[in-house]
């Protein structure tokens, strides 16, 4: 197992680091199974295009498809855009047990202590949390996450084929050549600096067969 010192060294050098969270927090496996059982109707469509940002309920598939098409054209033109499904930690989702269990795990003492050792900071609280669901055609354009202290993305995806896209590509600030291209392997935790560094990254368009999901838990921390 990779030690804390090496993970911290990589984080400080590159502004990001990724590793298998299950090696440090074995209980993550139980929560992943519960997330997979969340009903489709609880996931909304979140789309960003030239007309703004649109959060559409699961039943509004026609409008979501229309907004996605605009976002996809924006992507082809080099404009910032995204299109995927998500489940934010909102009042409406307070009763989704699996969502709340995952948030509690990411704010638990074992995880906070681990992140403190990896980043060299003292995480105080989870400032934002949501689950994302990428399927065929979904993507997230190049961006830097809002500055607070650091953020994480935990892959909850089983047996993802890298030929189907959905890869997290990290770009050094101001450069076009990728520094890393990360496959969303199950339990892989990506930790990236959002305070002291700019870490541009994007999620490549998904080409997986219908109903194949790339699910991730995203959390941002104040420290």
Q: Within 10 A of 59 (CB to CB), how many other CB atoms are there?
A: 10
Beta strand residue intervals within the chain, DSSP E: 16-20, 44-49, 52-56, 82-88, 125-134, 139-143, 150-155, 168-170, 180-182, 188-193, 201-203, 214-222
User: Which pLDDT score is estimated for 27?
Assistant: 87
Of residues 55 and 31, more confidently modeled:
55
User: CA torsion angle for 88, 92, 95, 101 (degrees, to 10)?
Assistant: 20
Give the mean model confidence (pLDDT) for residues 187-198. Answer: 90
Is the predicted pLDDT of residue 154 greater than 80, yes or no? yes
Is the predicted pLDDT of residue 24 greater than 80, yes or no? yes
Of residues 125 and 53, more confidently modeled:
53
Cα–Cα distances (Å) from 168 to 89, 127, 193, 201, in that order, read: 23, 22, 15, 7
Q: Do 132 and 216 touch, CB atoms closer than 8 A?
A: yes
Rounded Cα distance, 190 and 113, in Å: 16
Percentage of the residues of the chain whose pLDDT score is greater than 90: 80
Is the predicted pLDDT of residue 73 greater than 80, yes or no? yes
Q: Do 144 and 199 touch, CB atoms closer than 8 A?
A: yes
User: Which pLDDT score is estimated for 223?
Assistant: 87
User: Which pLDDT score is estimated for 91?
Assistant: 95
Q: Within 10 A of 105 (CB to CB), how many other CB atoms are there?
A: 20
Rounded Cα distance, 56 and 64, in Å: 7
Average pLDDT, the chain: 93
User: Which pLDDT score is estimated for 207?
Assistant: 97
pLDDT digit string (tens) for 161-179?
A: 999 999 999 987 666 788 8
User: Which pLDDT score is estimated for 69?
Assistant: 98
Rounded Cα distance, 104 and 98, in Å: 10
Tokens coding 22: 């299950």
User: Which pLDDT score is estimated for 199?
Assistant: 86
> In this structure, is the dihedral angle defined by the CA atoms of residues 119, 124, 125 and 128, taken in order, positive or negative?
negative
């Amino acid at each position: 197992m990779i030690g804390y010192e090496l993970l911290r060294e990589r984080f400080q050098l590159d502004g990001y680091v990724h590793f298998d969270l299950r090696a440090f927090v074995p209980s993550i496996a139980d929560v992943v199974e519960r997330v997979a059982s969340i009903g489709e109707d609880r996931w909304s469509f979140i789309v960003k295009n030239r007309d703004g940002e649109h959060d559409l309920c699961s039943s509004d598939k026609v409008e979501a498809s229309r907004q996605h098409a605009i976002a996809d054209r924006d992507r082809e033109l080099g404009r910032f855009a995204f299109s995927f499904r998500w489940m934010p930690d909102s009042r409406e989702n307070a009763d989704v047990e699996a969502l709340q269990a995952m948030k509690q795990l990411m704010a638990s003492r074992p995880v906070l202590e681990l992140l403190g050792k990896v980043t060299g900071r003292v995480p105080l609280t989870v400032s934002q949390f949501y689950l994302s669901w990428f399927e065929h055609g979904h993507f997230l354009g190049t961006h830097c996450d809002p500055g607070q202290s650091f953020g994480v993305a935990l892959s909850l995806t089983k047996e993802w084929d890298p030929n189907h896209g959905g890869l997290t590509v990290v770009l050094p600030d101001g450069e076009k050549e990728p520094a890393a291209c990360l496959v969303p392997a199950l339990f892989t935790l990506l930790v990236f600096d959002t305070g002291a560094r700019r870490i541009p990254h994007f999620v490549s368009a998904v080409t997986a067969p219908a109903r194949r999901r790339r699910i991730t838990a995203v959390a941002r921390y104040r420290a």
